[in-house]
Copies of this chain bind each other. A is one copy, B any other.
């Protein structure tokens, strides 16, 4: 493991518990255990494709905390800058998988987690960011608590200082904060960002921006916050099990809107798609620029949705196969 990761991400990863076989939570006698969280998911996706990544968080020193660390390490993400505590708890969440007309449903049990109780200067950012080219966090991290918001701002400043590009996903979570709380903090953060990931809906909820087209939304965001790149993922969900998925990315320097193919997805588990898009985008962007970024982001996140859990276990070869229109025959 290089001590100089390409990508450093910062946020919360939770232990996720989900009933199998479309059971309701009330019905189930077993739960599947996964680990996920926007910033871990993005680090995993980037790592699977070839970037080296490090995930920074604060964890309680108990089996649940170790499950989170183990899961990151299993997929090759460095955890050497995780801060450990004997206090607090590891956040958990429950997800039920639905079927039309029953939507998937989430119950968070993440209050007072170790990362929600982080305070600035607990993390040695100079060490954690040494050599990093990219820093990523999402709107979830500052929403966890006001001290977490402070720690997020500290991280972003340190990332700039370390010469890393600051990448942000709006990821608005209504159960964590109000739209006005989000607007205040995310405005401050977006102003320091280089690359912004979002959806049309989050843009409206957080910044009140609504426009006739995705491209317009991207333009407005780029302009308002002086961003290098704005990437927007687009989902159509005519049913729970079948979605269409694509993304665009607007690059300010060239004033080009880059597009990716639209995938018709048989959805096994859509959680973490946006995060896998981030990871795939950053890999593509770092290797060949925005055009590749948006394509690899969409390919990676399309594959994510076909496998259970928040993390994307696809390989570079598989992403390239679906982007090349590789068919659905069994190779044998």
B70 touches A26 (CB 8 A): yes
Known: A1-B78, A175-B332, A266-B99. Contact between A27 and B73, CB under 8 A?
no
Determine the chain B residues whose CB is within 8 A of the CB of A109 once the complex forms: 64, 89, 92
Contact A308 B99 (CB under 8 A): no
| A174 within 8 A of partner (CB) | yes
Q: Give the residue name and chain of the B residue nearest to A65 (CB).
A: B26
Which residues of chain B are within 8 angstroms of A327 by Cβ–Cβ distance?
A: 103, 237
Task: Assess the A307–B71 pair: CB atoms within 8 A.
Answer: no
Instruction: Judge whether A212 is part of the interface by a CB distance below 8 angstroms.
Output: no
Interface residues of A in 214-255 (CB under 8 A from B): 237, 239-241
- Chain B residues lying within 8 Å of A332, measured Cβ to Cβ, are 106, 108, 173-175
Q: Evaluate contact between A26 and B67: CB separation under 8 angstroms.
A: yes
Residues of B within 8 A of A20 (CB): 21
Q: Mark A37-71, 1 if CB is under 8 A from B, else 0.
A: 00000000000000000000000001110110011
Kindly list chain B residues whose C-beta atoms are within 8 Å of the C-beta of A326: 103
Which listed segment binds B: A28-36, A129-137, A154-162?
A28-36
Tell yes or no: A204 within 8 A of B by CB: no
Give the contacting residue for A17; candidates B21, B31, B268, B271; CB below 8 A. B31
Q: Are B239 and A22 in contact (CB under 8 A)?
A: no
Contact present for A101 and B63 (CB under 8 Å)? no
Interface size class of A (residues with CB under 8 A): 35 or more
Q: Please, which residue of chain B has its CB at the minimum distance from the CB of A63?
A: B25
A187 interface contact, C-beta 8 A: no
Q: Which of A285-332 contact B (CB under 8 A)?
A: 302-303, 305-309, 313-314, 318, 322, 326-332
Q: What's the minimum C-beta distance from A138 to chain B, rounded to whole angstroms?
A: 13
Asked if B108 contacts A111 (CB within 8 A), the reply is no
A1-B1, A112-B112 known; A101+B322 contact, CB < 8 A: yes
Contact A103 B330, beta carbon cutoff 8 Å:
yes
CB < 8 Å: which of B101, B111, B173, B330 contacts A112? B111
Q: How far is the CA of A105 from the CA of B327 in the complex (A)?
A: 12
CB neighbours (8 Å) of A330 from chain B are 95, 103-106, 270-271
Q: Which residue of B66, B102, B111, B329 contacts A303 across the interface (Cβ within 8 Å)?
A: B102
The answer to whether the Cβ of A256 comes within 8 Å of any Cβ in the partner chain is no
Let me know if A265 is at the binding interface, CB within 8 A.
yes
Q: Which 10 A-B pairs have the closest CB atoms?
A: A99-B266, A74-B74, A25-B63, A1-B1, A99-B306, A102-B306, A106-B332, A100-B266, A24-B313, A103-B328
Q: Other than A30-B30, A92-B109, A99-B305, give 18 A-B pairs with Cβ distance below 8 A.
A: A20-B21, A21-B308, A22-B268, A25-B64, A26-B66, A26-B313, A28-B33, A73-B75, A101-B303, A102-B307, A103-B327, A103-B328, A103-B329, A103-B330, A103-B331, A112-B112, A173-B332, A240-B266
